[in-house]
Amino acid sequence: MTGHAETQELLAPYALGAVSTAEADQVREHLPGCEICRMDLARLSEVVSALPLAVDEAQPRARLKQQILGIARGDAAAAARFGEADLPINPGPAIHLPGERSARFWRSVPRWGPVAAAAAIAALLLTWNLQLQTQVNNSRDLAARSVATAPMKSRSGGDVGQITYLAQQHVALVSLRGMVAPAGGRTYEVWIVDAHGRATPAGIFLPDGDGSKLLVLTQDIGRKSIAVSEEPAGGSAQPTSLPIISGAI
Amino acid sequence: MATADLAEADSDIYLPLRFGDPGALELAYNRYGGLAYGLSLRIVSDTGDAEEVVQEVFLRIWKSPYSFDPSRGSFRTWLLTLIRNRSIDRLRARHRMPAGAELPVHLEDHSTHSDPWQTLALGLERDAVRKGLDTLPVEQREAIEMAFLSGYTHTEIAERLGLPLGTVKGRLRLGLEKLHGFFATTGLVTR
């Protein structure tokens, strides 16, 4: 355990990135239990964060920008192609979801609760069915393009759920966990966000008693992302706060 | 600056980045590419190495957009911290120096300016930082620059300058505290 005085001596070098890894570990070990050192470090680090501004800007060759953006655009194009995949796979039994493509699908869940639950279960079974087929066919590539999963992440990057997307059926199952009901009568709202960042409302919801929620979304999200923000009761036409959760296939 | 303001700074970059929009990366490059390259070039003193650092960092941002947490501060400081750390890595590798600890990521700064004000605001901030550095005694400024821009640990600085370790630690601390006092009068820091 590193002492307070020793840590105080290391705070400035630590803020400047001028300590050994062992010394950095010592500082990090001490910080959680010492508010004084945490506050001092925050103050010193704020100064260090301004130091790069003293440096003159410079222009690299134009080719560098082209290289970087070329790679990014290639990635984006590859991701977009996924949504257009026309794959010869047996989709299994048809699924008929209530309120399909309704912009306020979850708002009607209380009335359609049993049907929605049945649809969700059917969709989950379909997922399982397709995955089973995949195992039988031993075709990993086919499955990867037909049934895709991706994490739902909190703003801090924590894993708070999962999207399971059936590309051919345009059905996304979004399972969330660890949610806390918003205070003051507010609600969570789901957004479908296109590649340009434009958000379309897709329903409001509150988490279940255990903090979890299963959402069934019946539209093509191959080119899009799913985000959740906290909104005033009744939802908003456009997000009024930053997304707290988002994910993309 | 309020936390909400910090979270909003550069949200036109980091939010669409999370949805895989290459246009957001282009916006980030247009806004901060020159600053990022300038910082890396100042550290590594080699245009090829600096370009490689910039490419590495911007592609990291593209591939891992969630590694930036807006609740902890600004996108600009995060980006420049990555640039500084990768540049120091490259410098130390070139000189076969053992890796030191990375600069801890502390993101708070005040870059809420929209594009029309970007150049003017950055210029004002640059002037303030330079004036602050000019107020320092030479030995304090030298120690800070050796640490931040040359990547030396405080132990290495003491060896190079032939000074007791405690003296170097003291210069670094006094220099940063003095800068804090100066920056506070210009609005560059809030604490």
pLDDT surpassing 90 at residue B155: yes
Q: Are residues B117 and B98 in the same domain?
A: no
Q: Are residues A238 and A152 in the same domain?
A: yes
Q: Are residues B75 and B117 in the same domain?
A: no
Q: Are residues B105 and B118 in the same domain?
A: no
Q: Tell whether A71 is covered by a domain.
A: no
Q: Are residues A143 and A34 in the same domain?
A: no
Q: In CATH, what number is assigned to the domain containing residue B127?
A: 1.10.10.10
Q: Are residues B28 and B97 in the same domain?
A: yes
A55 with B35: Cβ contact below 8 A: yes
Residue whose entry in the numeric block shows the structure tokens 């600009």: B76
Chain B neighbors of A71, CB-CB under 8 A: 59, 62
Q: Are residues A127 and A187 in the same domain?
A: yes
Q: In CATH, what number is assigned to the domain containing residue B45?
A: 1.10.1740.10
Q: What is the pTM of this model?
A: 0.59
Q: Are residues B124 and B64 in the same domain?
A: no
Q: Are residues B106 and B37 in the same domain?
A: yes
Of B58, B84, B110, the residue that ends a domain is B110
CA distance to A4, A128, A147, B167, per residue, from A203 (Å): 52, 26, 23, 62
Task: Choose the weakest-confidence range: A14-28, A89-103, A113-127, B93-107.
Answer: A89-103
Q: Are residues A49 and A112 in the same domain?
A: no
State the number of CA atoms in the 13 A half-sphere of B107 facing the CB: 19
Domain span at residue A130 reads: 92-248
Q: Are residues A31 and A102 in the same domain?
A: no
**Section A135-151 average pLDDT:** 56
B147 with A69: Cβ contact below 8 A: no
Q: Decide: residue B167, CB within 10 A, 0-12 exposed, 13-18 middle, 19+ buried.
A: middle
In chain B, the number of structural domains is: 2
User: Would you call A186 helix, strand, or coil by DSSP?
Assistant: coil
> Which two tokens mark B118?
């970007």
Q: Are residues A131 and A21 in the same domain?
A: no
Of B74, B93, B110, the residue that ends a domain is B110
User: Would you call B136 helix, strand, or coil by DSSP?
Assistant: coil
Q: What is the interface pTM, i.e. ipTM, of the complex?
A: 0.85
Q: Backbone phi, then psi, for B50, in 5-degree steps? A: -65, -40
A58 with B109: Cβ contact below 8 A: no
A64 with B83: Cβ contact below 8 A: no
Whether B78 and B35 have beta carbons less than 8 Å apart is answered as no
Beta-carbon neighbour count of residue B110 at 10 Å?
A: 22
Chain B neighbors of A55, CB-CB under 8 A: 35, 38-39, 42
Q: Tell whether A80 is covered by a domain.
A: no
% residues pLDDT > 70 (chain A):
69
Q: Are residues B98 and B167 in the same domain?
A: no
Q: Are residues A35 and A97 in the same domain?
A: no
Q: Tell whether A74 is covered by a domain.
A: no
Of B85, B110, B135, the residue that ends a domain is B110
pLDDT (0 to 100) of residue B120? 61
Task: Choose the weakest-confidence range: A83-87, A181-185, A208-212.
Answer: A83-87
Per mean pLDDT, which of A18-27, B18-27, B70-79 is the most reliable? A18-27
Domain span at residue B63 reads: 1-110
- A20, A55, A156 ranked by CB distance to B39: nearest: A55
Q: Decide: residue B173, CB within 10 A, 0-12 exposed, 13-18 middle, 19+ buried.
A: buried
Four-CA torsion B117, B120, B121, B126, nearest 10 degrees: 160
In chain A, the number of structural domains is: 2
N residues, chain A? 249
Beta-carbon neighbour count of residue A108 at 10 Å?
A: 14
Q: Are residues B132 and B154 in the same domain?
A: yes
Q: Are residues B59 and B38 in the same domain?
A: yes
Q: Tell whether A75 is covered by a domain.
A: no
Which helix (DSSP H) or strand (DSSP E) does residue B5 occupy? helix B3-8
Q: Are residues A117 and A9 in the same domain?
A: no
Q: Are residues A104 and A176 in the same domain?
A: yes
Q: Are residues B48 and B63 in the same domain?
A: yes
CA distance B63 to A125: 32
